[in-house]
Amino acid sequence: MSDDTLFQSRRAFLQALPAITAGVALPMNTASAAEGKHHWAMLVDVRKCIGCQACTVSCIMENAVPENSFRTIVSTYTVTQEVDGKTVAGTYVLPRLCNHCDNPPCVPVCPVNATFKRDDGIVVVDGYRCVGCAYCVQACPYDARFINHDTGKADKCTFCAHRVDAGLLPACVETCVGGARIFGDLNDPKGELRRRLDAAKEADAIKVLKPESGARPNVFYIGLDPRFQGRVEGQGALWRPSEHGA
Amino acid sequence: MNTSIVEVVNVAREVSWLPWAVQYFFLIGLSVGCFLLTLPWFVLRRPAWERASRLALLGALACGLTAPVALLADLHQPARFLNFYLHPNLGSWMAWGAFFIPLYLGGLALYAWLVLRPDLKRLADIGGRGAGIYRAFAYGGHDSLGATRIAAVLALAGAALVALYTGMEVMVVSARPLWDTPFLPVQFFITAVAGAIGLVLVLDRAIGDGRAAEGTHLLRLLAATQVLVLAVGAAWLLLGVTGLSPRHAEALAQVAPSAAWRITAVWAAGSALATLWLAVRHPEWRLAAGLIALHSAWMMRWTIFIGGQQIPKTSAGFYDYHLPLGQDGLLGIVGTAGLWIAVLILLISVLPWAGQRRAQA
Ligand code: SF4
Ligand code: SF4
């Protein structure tokens, strides 16, 4: 299996299923950090997200995320506004995860170099080295990090690096019901991610969260309402996880 | 078009710099402030300052010895501190802290030993239990101003670096507009000095003879810190209100709508004014002034750290914080306070902190 065939959305994955079945016996040419030729990124098409939280759940299962902690979540909002003199209410959903920033503020603050950006763009935490000081948690402009109560160390989305290294998709992408999450290599001009990004860029439809932070995210959005691009002005969550484990 | 947005589902990020961190910043600040107050007597030999400087030395040691314990507790597993020395990232202010703290505490310990040597010898000369140990520690009991000055410079460098790194560490977090202001290290430092004066005044009433403020301008110094606290606060507010600095305006916009934050601001300004008024007009109530200054130094850190972490970076509204009763919360605060008192009692019991007066007693 070549790198190009790393499936970039659930649909592409399903279409390629027969190829995997045929290819399991062959040695896999997996994505490797050391090669440095990949630049993993994600495109979230907000218009396709149905807010089902399948990604949230699959991430928890895949990564043994402790109770009441989340590496990814679909923020859900009720928006009430006046349109043509009528008050209408709707739901807005926004999948959030670590942006694997190109200029990640979480990295330089780490006192022990435990958090770093791999050659392939994935920002990870070396659990052996991390001292749990939570400086990176403070520095991330996206509230993407937390201290894992089971390990007492920094935790966050890894783009499922263990799966990507094995030639698989991140768990959230694989389970995405609406096909809203597209994962792939920015350096692959023929890949679905690059093609979708290029097409949307022409229409000026690509946005990132908090562009002013200077972090240069690698999670891109189509259909991102500017009112949700930074800190949301509104009423706080009606439901939030309770205190961590008893 | 009127829009109202209500968040229905989202994650609430917990406070990850726990009350331990508040205790650390409070205690290390007090220690640095107290150390500065020891200099007028032990280095500059201003006789009027003897009482205040001796009490301040106790404060510097007790706070300095307790502070790192709070810091280690915040790591969830204290032995992890080794990684600070095995894999330092010198681009991180926190990593530098691991070198500045021992420098300061080492300098402080050396300085304390040098300035107390003559008193240790006096204690040994009186005889009684422990005379041998005191004699060994007195190591001749010389009063060497030259050596003291060298140790003072070392401790002063350590103190300056600790004050610098604790301020910068928080200031560089640009993800939190409230922290991302050059006023923060200044405010940390001024409130630390004010708290240290407050601690000396409290210790003066508790274990001194109540005369530490006599002839020392200690109260005037306390008043000056409060004027500075108010000036820095006003400057921050001005930059935010006028929009001269977009960062400050952003920070102000985050907290201004919250009634709790407005009350906190009024409380802080009121406390500073009350301290100022007591220090200038009612020297006889200096204990009250000292207690309020101490409380302000703690409150400022609590508000910055715990309050600051309740402001979501992307979510709407505020994250709720309820002080847990266990070691991540109340137990941590009470535990550090208890340790501080135990260390203080130990120091009072074994050190000839009061000098001649104690030795003759
Ligand atoms: S989103 Fe936050 S945690 Fe992820 S790379 Fe960017 S700064 Fe770091
Ligand atoms: S919590 Fe771990 S990864 Fe984060 S800054 Fe501290 S040591 Fe580094």
pLDDT at B356: 72
Task: Measure B179 CA to ligand 1 centroid, in angstroms.
Answer: 19
Judging contacts by C-beta atoms under 8 Å, the chain A residues touching residue B320 are 240
What is residue B37's three-state secondary structure?
A: helix
When divided into structural domains, chain A yields a total of 1
Task: Give dist(CA B31, CA B100) in Å, integer.
Answer: 14
Domain assignment of residue A232, yes or no = no
Helix (H) or strand (E) holding B5: strand B3-9
Domain assignment of residue A64, yes or no = yes
Domains and CATH numbers, chain B: 19-313+346-354 (1.20.1630.10)
Domain assignment of residue A1, yes or no = no
- From B278's Cα to the closest Cα of chain A, the distance in A is 38
Task: Give dist(CA B248, CA B244) in Å, integer.
Answer: 8
Q: Does B242 touch chain A (CB under 8 A)?
A: no
CATH of the domain at A208: 3.30.70.20
pLDDT at B169: 97
pLDDT at A37: 87
Domain assignment of residue A190, yes or no = yes
Q: What value of ipTM does the predicted structure carry?
A: 0.94
Q: Does A86 touch chain B (CB under 8 A)?
A: no
> What are the b/e assignments for A159-170, b being 16+ CB within 10 Å?
bbbebbeebbbb
Domain assignment of residue A158, yes or no = yes
Give the structural domain span for A41.
31-225
Residue A22 has pLDDT above 80, yes or no: no
Task: Give dist(CA A43, CA A199) in Å, integer.
Answer: 12
pLDDT at A159: 98
Task: Give dist(CA A144, CA A156) in Å, integer.
Answer: 6
The beta-strand segments (E) located in chain A are 40-45, 73-83, 86-96, 115-117, 123-125, 146-148, 153-155, 181-185, 206-207, 219-222
What is residue A87's three-state secondary structure?
A: strand
Band (pLDDT 50/70/90 cuts) for residue A9 is: low
pLDDT at B125: 87
Farthest CA pair distance, chain B: 86
Which residue from A129, A133, A151 has its CB within 8 A of the most atoms of ligand 2, so it is best to mutate? A133
Domain assignment of residue A244, yes or no = no
Inter-CA distances, A150 with A65, A67, A205, B21, B310, Å: 9, 10, 40, 20, 22
More confident residue, B215 or A186: A186
Nearest ligand 1 atom to the CA of A117 is 5
Enter the tokens of residue B133. Answer: 């140990």
Task: Give dist(CA A115, CA A134) in Å, integer.
Answer: 11
Which among B70, B85, B5, B115 is positioned nearest to B355, based on CA atoms? B115
Q: Which of residues 13-52 of B touch A (CB under 8 A)?
A: 13-14, 16-17
- From B237's Cα to the closest Cα of chain A, the distance in A is 21
Please work out, in degrees rounded to the nearest 5, the angle formed at the alpha carbon of residue B78 by the alpha carbons of A132 and B80: 55
Domain assignment of residue A234, yes or no = no
Quickly list H helices, chain A: 10-15, 17-23, 54-63, 106-109, 135-139, 161-164, 171-175, 192-202
Domain assignment of residue A11, yes or no = no
Average pLDDT per run of 10 along chain B, which is 361 residues long? 86 90 97 98 94 96 96 85 96 97 97 94 85 87 90 98 97 96 97 98 94 90 97 96 94 93 96 96 95 97 96 91 86 94 95 69 39
Task: Give dist(CA A198, CA B117) in Å, integer.
Answer: 75
Band (pLDDT 50/70/90 cuts) for residue A2 is: very low
Instruction: Note the pTM of the prediction, 2 decimals.
Output: 0.91
